[in-house]
A and B are shown apart, each in its own frame.
Chain A
Amino acid sequence: MNGERREMRFGRGMGHGRGPAIGMPVQKAKDFKGTLKRLMGYLKPRRVQLTVVFLAAVLSTVFSIASPKIMGKATTKLFEGVKLKWEGVPGAAIDFHYITQILLVLGGLYLASALFGYIQQFVMAGVAQKTVYDLRKQVNDKLSRLPLKFFDSRPNGEILSRAVNDLDNISSTLQQSLTQLITSVVTLAGVIVMMLTISPLMTLIVFLTLPLSLAITKAIASRSQSYFVGQQKALGELNGHVEEMYTGHKVVKAFGHETKSLERFNEINERLYQSGWKAQFISGIIMPLMSFISNIGYVLVSVVGGLLVTKRAIEIGDIQAFIQYARQFSQPITQLANIANVIQSTIASAERVFELLDEQEELPDASDPVELQSPQGSVRFQDVKFGYKEDALLIENMNIDVKPGQTVAIVGPTGAGKTTLINLLMRFYEINDGKITIDGVDITELKRGNLRSLFGMVLQDTWLFNGTIRDNIAYGREGATEEEIVQAAKAAHADHFIRTLPEGYDTVLNEEASNISQGQKQLLTIARAILADPAILILDEATSSVDTRTEVHIQKAMNELMKGRTSFVIAHRLSTIRDADLILVMKNGSIIEKGSHTELLAAGGFYADLYNSQFTGKNRKKEVV
């Protein structure tokens, strides 16, 4: 009685609450067909395995469908024997020889069905996971070729969700729903055929229950939808409130708003309860109603079957078989409805992944790239035009000429877009017009890798990765020796603090690198830049989160680093600004003034204003000494 394949969802999807409850709104793909086709394309290289899966699924299902009928024969034989005996026919006995044969056949069928079922799942595990592995790899490769514009214009969370959650969704669907789809279709077809061979009349009765169950599902689904939407909305609001109150805990407490926050929480919570229980209830009664309908079918089959047997139209074993078939009949139908939902959400996931794969990539490197052998570090902007959006130019006709070893200070209020220049220099963004040259070579003629290796960057946002301190410094240059690493750390004034850590250079920075202080992180990034030994430096002087004494160390290290190199400094300290060979003043994203300190003061523009506003502070400082 292989029968009721109440499929359980094992594997990755399990516990994720896969298979949305009936009536739950499903995300839909914009272009279902196209995306499906493209997803299928990924399965193509594995068509041999897929054929095996398909055949195994079909065989396994066919064997399991055949068995109830055969088992019915055994029952019939038993019944006949008993009946004859009961009627007192001399010599009547149950034909155990025949029954043994049937049971053996049955055992064989079961074994075969189980075996093929196993093969199907086993092969599919490889196919599904490897396909997803490939896709994920492709996504990551793609990410490495996308321009920074892409990353700057959307939250990291969204990209992560595509690369992880959406692919996870595809993986579990491939693992389970695909084979389920095959088995459900085959089961449905097989069951109908088997039922028809037993009794067309009884089949008709079972079919009559079909519209009933469809109508019920539909009615319930449409009703529960609005509750699910309400539940989702309330839950979103609730989570938002919790997030806000917890992150702002200090403020909530300081201003004594605990009660108010609690009241609001309870209000949303009540709404969540109201829509929540209704959604659960309504979607929850589908199962009992379905089984009721199936029970009606069961009763009808028993009665009609019983009558037919008394009329000798069918045999007793047929009723038994038929009951099993009838039970299997409704199973694949609800399953198919469910799979339809799962597939829809999977295609929506796949579409999001493909969207990412179709993003426009960086312009390819020049086909015949120039290689700078011994870079000097002269940088030149010639009539550069640039804007993040085509129609809003931030920089128009900028010309700057920086000679090797010179320092360029970039000043301006917070949020003035000082990173724009870095973006252009490193060719993270493409300029709209004009050209940028390094040692006389247009940067577009260099390989990106070569171009970027000319630069060393120390930003305020200290990026370190989850690994040892040694690895983090060594990041600056591939194949650096231990000695070079320590030398770099020493030059960056980092060696001392590293050695005070219990594990020294082997200290593993944790995920948020919160086991060392902000200032220490900064020193590590400086060491990393020193190790890279670049011709041109990009430095961010802002050290607002660092105490002033650590700042002295950082400043010393930076000065060390800047010796003899062309430097672009996002400057905050007056001394740096005044000593700079060129000052670029930025405001609202664009460069509004440029020149030397004296030139700019004489011009009496924004810079002069900014400088004078600090005068008060400076005067006091003078007084101090």
Chain B
Amino acid sequence: MIKLFRFIKPYRWLVIAVLLLIFLQTLSDLFLPTLMADIVDVGIVNGDTPYILKIGSFMLLVAAGGVLCSVTASFLSSRVSAGFGQRLRSMVFSHVTNFSLQEFDKIGTASLITRTTNDITQVQQVLNMMLRMMVMAPLMCIGGIIMAVSKDAKLSLVLVVVIPVLIAVIAFFATKGMPLFKAIQVKLDKLNLVLRENLTGIRVIRSFNRIDREKQRFDEANLDLANTSVKVNRLMASLMPTMMLVLNLSTIAIIWFGGIRIDHGHMQVGALMAFIQYAMQIMFSLLMVTMIFVMIPRAAASAVRINEVLEMDPDIKDGEQLQETNSKRGYVEFRDVTFSYPGAEKPALSNISFQARPGEVTAIIGGTGSGKTTLISLIPRFYDVDSGCVLVDGVDVRKMSQASLRERIGFVPQKAVLFTGTIAENIRYGKEDATDAEIRHAAEIAQATEFISEMKDGFDSVIAQGGMNVSGGQKQRLSIARALVRRPEIYVFDDSFSALDFKTDAKLRAALKEETGDSTVMIVAQRVSTVMDADRIIVLDEGKIAGIGTHRELMDTCNVYREIVSSQLSEEEIA
């Protein structure tokens, strides 16, 4: 939590001003009872009406000064906390933008989203509360004690007894309550989980006729949550009454001891009345402290998560000395590349070497987890190799700037991602200054024109967030068009035809062939039919190259390949 406060630094003068203003405001609040005491002790005792009026108007001035201070403080503090939130948000976002896939894998996309959005909002809210109320609590407490002592030092001894008692009460509830609050969160998550499972698995549950079992599972979670909630609320039920009781009993003590002191002529009645009000203010400031206890843990958890993000250094940075490529276009070479994911026992890829040249199609085939996607992720430098090197146009990708490297690549990921915006905008994502004709052409080749023209607004149809309003196959075709419009040196297709039916798949590949003529094409695929025509097929098995060659060569030399081929043909076709 505290670490995050470095983001307040630019606002430190404002924060100091806020503190000062709030202190002034508390002083004015505390000064009022003193003035009232004067009214009682001087004005009333002497029956001096003009004095009462004079002090009264003075009190009004003090009150007005107080409100002026606190409005200004509020003005400054809302700017501070909003500005803090803005800066922090922007820091986190730009930091995450520089993350490589490695960091994304580590934290998880969903979690990163929460950290950038909800967690920061949470911290910002707490900061706002702190600047407004929590700062006031200690100031009020200190000010109150000063005033009380100055009014009557001896009577302040009552406070010496009461304050520790209050603190003990707060500490007791904090230690008892916190674990329960945490438990509730866990149980709520559990309930959520059961319910979500029930919703996503509804067909299975009903078809296996297990509704009653699921009901019981839900009921258990529900009851567990309800019981804990009752427990925590019953515990908290005693907090307020206990606090109030302590406060009230101490008031009685103050009157009693104050009465004795008055009797001895050490004190005046007005002063006693003022004293009671000071005591109240001190104790209420302590009550506010309990609020802090409630709020801080949540914000602290958020802060820890945000810090984790900020402290994570992106693995992949542009090298200091960038190397220009020579005139070569579209050459991809792997030289003895070994790569492992962090924490993995075995490398995901080992000793991979091959070359791909312009005008050639290089296909990569292999089982799930054999490292196909990992291999092509190394070309746009989504990850850095452990040893060996990946060369594009003759230059190690680590010696190129990420921007100039990726400029050369048209990448089509396994999972087609589209962004909010029109279809044209989504395709134009590949090339910002693409003309309408270029976009139409790319869509044509990607076999997307037909469904686009069926949509109401054609190329101006809006894609909803996450591409909810287009089907999987349509998404894939748009994602291909996006790469095509770029006219890159290197095309990378990561199993990008999986959601297409056979017919579209065939048409698309025929059209692609013409389009990608002079470029280097890398295709990851599951179906043998997709890779059969490739100039070079790389067969991966458990991260190692099991064979490289054309289809015919591999049929003769590579066992793994033959196995894959035969598994895709029906038995009678083999026979």
Contact = CB atoms under 8 A, between A and B. Distances in A.
A323 to B, nearest CB: 8
Contacts of A171: 229
B49 A307 contact: yes
B145 to A, nearest CB: 18
A313 interface: no
A193 B354 CA distance: 92
Contacts, number: 476
A519 interface: yes
A249 B101 contact: yes
Contacts of A15: 294-295, 298
Interface stretch (A106-114, A206-214, A372-380, A386-394): A106-114
Contact of A129 (B43, B177, B233): B233
B529 interface: yes
B449 interface: no
B175 interface: no
A299 interface: yes
A456 B571 CA distance: 26
A45 interface: no
A96 B258 CA distance: 12
Contacts of A625: 569, 573-574
Contacts of B207: 426, 452, 455-457
Of A163, A519, A548, the most chain B CB neighbours within 10 A belong to A548
Nearest to A538: B207
Contacts of A449: 209
12 contacts: A126-B234, A137-B219, A151-B199, A235-B121, A244-B419, A249-B101, A266-B90, A276-B86, A284-B74, A310-B44, A316-B44, A459-B203
A272 interface: yes
A616 B207 CA distance: 39
Interface in B76-94: 77-79, 81-83, 85-86, 89-90, 93-94
Given A2-B248, A306-B43, A414-B472, A246 B109 contact: yes
Nearest to A555: B567
B255 interface: yes
A70 B54 CA distance: 30
B319 interface: no
B382 A250 contact: yes
Nearest to B498: A544
A413 interface: yes
Nearest to B509: A616
Contact of A103 (B70, B214, B255): B255
Interface stretch (B160-168, B283-291, B515-523): B283-291
A54 interface: no
B244 interface: yes
B307 interface: no
A249 B199 contact: no
Q: Is the interface of B mostly helix, strand, loop or mixed?
A: helix
A613 B78 CA distance: 65
A132 B225 CA distance: 10
Contacts of B63: 292, 295-296, 298-299
Interface in A523-578: 528, 532, 544-552, 573-575
A79 B269 contact: yes
Interface string A410-423: 00011100000010
B191 interface: yes
B237 A122 contact: yes
B37 to A, nearest CB: 10
Given A15-B294, A240-B420, A452 B367 contact: no
B529 to A, nearest CB: 4
A372 B259 CA distance: 91
Contacts of B32: 295, 298-299
Contacts of A609: 503
Contacts of B498: 544-545
A242 interface: yes
A144 B214 contact: yes
A93 B6 CA distance: 62
B534 to A, nearest CB: 12
Contacts of B35: 302
A549 B417 CA distance: 28
Interface in A456-479: 456-457, 459, 463, 465-466, 475-476, 478
A247 interface: yes
A118 B238 contact: yes
Q: Is the interface of A mostly helix, strand, loop or mixed?
A: helix
Contacts of A140: 195, 198, 215, 218-219, 222
Of A248, A298, A609, the most chain B CB neighbours within 10 A belong to A248
A250 B263 CA distance: 82
Interface in A233-282: 235, 238-240, 242-258, 261-262, 265-266, 269-270, 272-273, 276-278, 280-281
A144 B380 CA distance: 49
A244 B466 CA distance: 7
B71 A428 contact: no
B60 interface: yes
A602 interface: no
A93 B266 CA distance: 15
Nearest to B64: A292
Contacts of A426: 203, 206-207
Contact of B109 (A82, A106, A249): A249
A621 interface: yes
B368 A475 contact: no
Contact of A547 (B184, B370, B466): B370
Interface string B65-77: 0110011001101
A532 B208 contact: yes
Contacts of B213: 478
A74 interface: yes
Nearest to B499: A414
A33 interface: no
A344 to B, nearest CB: 22
A164 B367 contact: no
A281 B79 contact: yes
Given A78-B269, A235-B121, A281-B75, A128 B233 contact: yes
A196 interface: no
Contact of B413 (A133, A251, A284, A292): A251
B286 to A, nearest CB: 12
Interface string B170-210: 00000001000100100010011101111111111011111
Contacts of A242: 93, 113, 116-117
Contact of B83 (A7, A11, A144, A273): A273
A545 B298 CA distance: 40
Of B192, B203, B247, B466, the most chain A CB neighbours within 10 A belong to B203
Contacts of A85: 265
A30 interface: no
B403 interface: yes
A117 B96 CA distance: 50
B465 A243 contact: yes
Contacts of B526: 544, 547-548
B158 interface: no
A613 B508 CA distance: 12
A620 B262 contact: no
A144 B211 contact: yes
Contact of B66 (A81, A287, A292): A292
Contacts of B265: 85
Contacts of B181: 14
B564 interface: yes
A622 B230 contact: no
Interface string A589-625: 0000000000000000000011001101100111011
Given A1-B251, A107-B252, A285-B74, A121 B240 contact: yes
B232 A610 contact: no
A254 B202 CA distance: 38
A288 interface: yes
B486 A280 contact: no
Given A256-B406, A298-B36, 16 more contacts: A6-B287, A7-B240, A11-B232, A11-B236, A117-B244, A129-B229, A156-B200, A273-B85, A292-B67, A302-B36, A310-B43, A310-B47, A415-B471, A532-B208, A544-B498, A613-B506
